[in-house]
Chains A and B, each alone.
Chain A
Amino acid sequence: MSILKHRETLLVAVIAALLALIASRFPGFVTPRNLAAVFTDTAPLMILALGQMAVILTRCIDLSVAANLALTGMTVALLNTVAPDLPVVVTLVLAIGLGAVMGAVNGILVWKLEIPSIVVTLGTMTIFRGIIFLISDGQWVNAHEMSAGFTGFPRIEILGLPVLAWIAILAIAVMALVMSRTVLGRAIFAAGSNPHAAAYTGIDVGRTQFAAFVISGALAGLTGYLWIARYAVAYVDIAGGFELDVVAACVIGGISIAGGVGTVAGAVLGALFLGVIKNALPVVDVSPFWQLAISGAAILIAVAFNARAGRRQGRVILKSAEQAA
């Protein structure tokens, strides 16, 4: 546990060092106001990373989150053009529900048919994108077609922070509670670290994976509405490739792809790390085209680092022999 703690403090230190480095030349970047803006900008990534964390902890992966986000976003945007006066609460519930249903589709295929999650979510990723095209007919939904209440909600400021940031904070708090204080949270860790042992203790591994996918889907649906409302536009390719950023945030945050190892703080810090880099690039006058390569390099460094940290632990002797093979 001390090593895990060490890992998060290390990540905090890296982010702080990064901020200090930028601040040494561009002090404007670290004003509370700008840091709050960076946090808000990273909110969607953080929310998605929380869901992805739950899935990865159970030894699965969800590559369909970005497509889920886009499909939910497009659906609520189209709904808004038809019924502009729908209360925001209803939209939120609909978005979360729709996302959860898509997550459940992934989950059922993984649970009942035991299809590897990477195959399932690669498939549903393209299927969801295709459905967006079918329902939108390839058209964009633009800002003037959405109602002011719909697009304004994530921007309402409460105590100096927009609702978008507060929702992220709420999601972090809820997930932290679920992971540490509920039966489901325990089951997720158990199913990931040793599925056989989990089965013997009466945990249904498949059902736990299903639950993780539903959580991931619900959070993706929630982000779908927030994303569309924030950018006030919806189209087929929205958030294209964002699933890689989400996985990257988790890997950087120290969540082991082999399952069972990871924390809520790790997922949040991993997302923040990417968010700081993304927001700092234009400030330090580096072309935004560098971002993809930097996040790729960050994934590789993080996963190499994780593997070394994991090896030092020397917990499971047989497994390391297997890895040496």
Chain B
Amino acid sequence: MSLADPDMTPVPRQIPDRLGSPAAKLLKSWESLLLLVAVGVFILNCFASPYFLDAWGLSDATFNFTEKAMIAFAMALLIISGEIDLSVASIIALCSTAMGLVMQAGGGTGLLVLTGLGTGLLCGAFNGVLVTRLGLPSIVVTIGTMSLFRGISYIVLGDGAFRGYPEGFAWFGQGYVFWVITVEMVIFTILAIVFGVVLHKTNFGRQVYAVGNNSTAALFSGIRVGRVKMILFLMTGLMSGLAAICLTSRLGSTRPSIAAGMELEVVTMVVLGGVSILGGSGSIPGVVIAAILMGLVTFGLGLLNVPGIVMSIFIGCMLIGVIAVPRLIRMARGKT
């Protein structure tokens, strides 16, 4: 049927006077749902424990998510582009071990920071080269490097530990910018803005979505797919290095088991934030709210004396639930 067909009587079609208003769209979005849940958890926490509403306590609670969220921002972009990095926690272990070695050799705070970031970049580059140059599936590559990176830490440290980081180094994980605002919180906020702008307002951000939706089409429209993915792996490595600096500084020691299992929490944070694990969609505001939500849940359960491993049940259920519930609702709607 073409419009030029003279015999065809034009069928009146209902066209809505206006499109759904941006406000309504915003209200129905995944992010506002998350925000609602986060506010709900916050209020519940207030009732659950009299110790919850305390500026210093809340400030301490932010450590539950700031380090993970730093990685989660980069991981969000990586997952949107259709890849994944399961080696992030092991990168932290390797960066922390490298910093420990430099510290033992007498390196100062500046050198320690450079070592952490540099090692992170190298690890990211290693993953990136294997995925983009050799065309290997990122999930297997990063399961391999997950063992390899942490394995190197174990070779260096065995059952030992590095201690005695210089005093200036403690600033990253234990310092305050003013009053209760921690250094990590400031880094978290700056990164949230930077990653938000990069993903949602730049050419590069559009390219990330394009690659994730259809990498072949992206290639044919002139996007250097390999380079985009390489940059994202480098970014994830760099952010893991930064998280390693903060975590090492906060703990004041390095063990090869540092940050064990953190990759799971980072992926959960990203998926909870509404990023599709299959790639192609997601937003940074979603990840920010998901990070805060996870921090609130962990902190609240901690105040109620729930052991850490039981919290992991909640996190596991959240991971599956956030994907399962919308699908269940859609299925129920489809049937009626």
Please give me the residue from chain A that is nearest to B312 by CB atom: A126
**Per-residue contact bits, chain B 219-251, to A (CB 8 Å; 1 contact, 0 not):** 100000110000000000000000000000000
Checking B130, B151, B323 against A295 with a beta-carbon cut-off of 8 angstroms, the contacting residue is: B151
Most central of B141, B146, B277, B320 by chain A CB within 10 Å: B320
Q: Does B298 contact A (CB under 8 A)?
A: no
Would you call B151 and A303 a contact (CB within 8 A)?
no
* Residues 267-325 (chain A) with a chain B CB within 8 angstroms: 287, 289-297, 299-300, 303-304, 307, 321-325
Would you call B310 and A133 a contact (CB within 8 A)?
yes
Q: Does A27 contact B (CB under 8 A)?
A: no
What is the CA–CA distance of A130 and B268 in the complex, to the nearest angstrom?
Answer: 16
A155 CB, min distance to chain B CBs, angstroms: 30
Most central of A126, A257, A303, A321 by chain B CB within 10 Å: A126
Contacts A248-B147, A251-B140, A300-B144; is A125 near B278 (CB within 8 Å)?
Answer: no
What residues on A are CB-neighbors of B151 within 8 Å?
289-297
**Per-residue contact bits, chain B 252-270, to A (CB 8 Å; 1 contact, 0 not):** 0000100000001001100
Q: Does B145 contact A (CB under 8 A)?
A: yes
**Per-residue contact bits, chain A 95-123, to B (CB 8 Å; 1 contact, 0 not):** 00000000000000100011110111011
**Per-residue contact bits, chain B 120-147, to A (CB 8 Å; 1 contact, 0 not):** 0000000000100011110111011111
Would you call B324 and A303 a contact (CB within 8 A)?
no
Contacts A123-B316, A297-B148; is A304 near B324 (CB within 8 Å)?
Answer: no
What is the CA–CA distance of A296 and B152 in the complex, to the nearest angstrom?
Answer: 10
Would you call B307 and A299 a contact (CB within 8 A)?
no
Checking B145, B155, B320 against A123 with a beta-carbon cut-off of 8 angstroms, the contacting residue is: B320
Q: Does B208 contact A (CB under 8 A)?
A: no
What residues on B are CB-neighbors of A303 within 8 Å?
136-137, 140-141, 144
- The A interface is mostly helix, strand or loop, or mixed, namely helix
What residues on A are CB-neighbors of B3 within 8 Å?
none
Contacts A300-B145, A307-B134, A307-B135; is A113 near B278 (CB within 8 Å)?
Answer: no
Q: Does A171 contact B (CB under 8 A)?
A: no
What is the CA–CA distance of A289 and B218 in the complex, to the nearest angstrom?
Answer: 44
Contacts A113-B327, A123-B316; is A296 near B148 (CB within 8 Å)?
Answer: yes
What is the CA–CA distance of A123 and B318 in the complex, to the nearest angstrom?
Answer: 8
Would you call A287 and B313 a contact (CB within 8 A)?
no
Would you call A133 and B155 a contact (CB within 8 A)?
no
* Residues 69-113 (chain A) with a chain B CB within 8 angstroms: 109, 113
Would you call A119 and B271 a contact (CB within 8 A)?
yes
Would you call B309 and A293 a contact (CB within 8 A)?
no
What is the CA–CA distance of A236 and B307 in the complex, to the nearest angstrom?
Answer: 13
Would you call B136 and A307 a contact (CB within 8 A)?
yes
* Residues 219-238 (chain A) with a chain B CB within 8 angstroms: 236
Q: Does B303 contact A (CB under 8 A)?
A: no
Would you call B219 and A325 a contact (CB within 8 A)?
yes
List residues of A whose CB falls within 8 A of some B CB. 61, 109, 113-116, 118-120, 122-127, 129-131, 133-134, 138, 236, 244, 247-248, 251, 257-258, 287, 289-297, 299-300, 303-304, 307, 321-325
Q: List 13 A-B contacts (CB under 8 A).
A: A113-B324, A113-B328, A116-B278, A118-B139, A119-B320, A133-B310, A251-B140, A257-B137, A293-B147, A300-B145, A303-B137, A303-B141, A325-B216
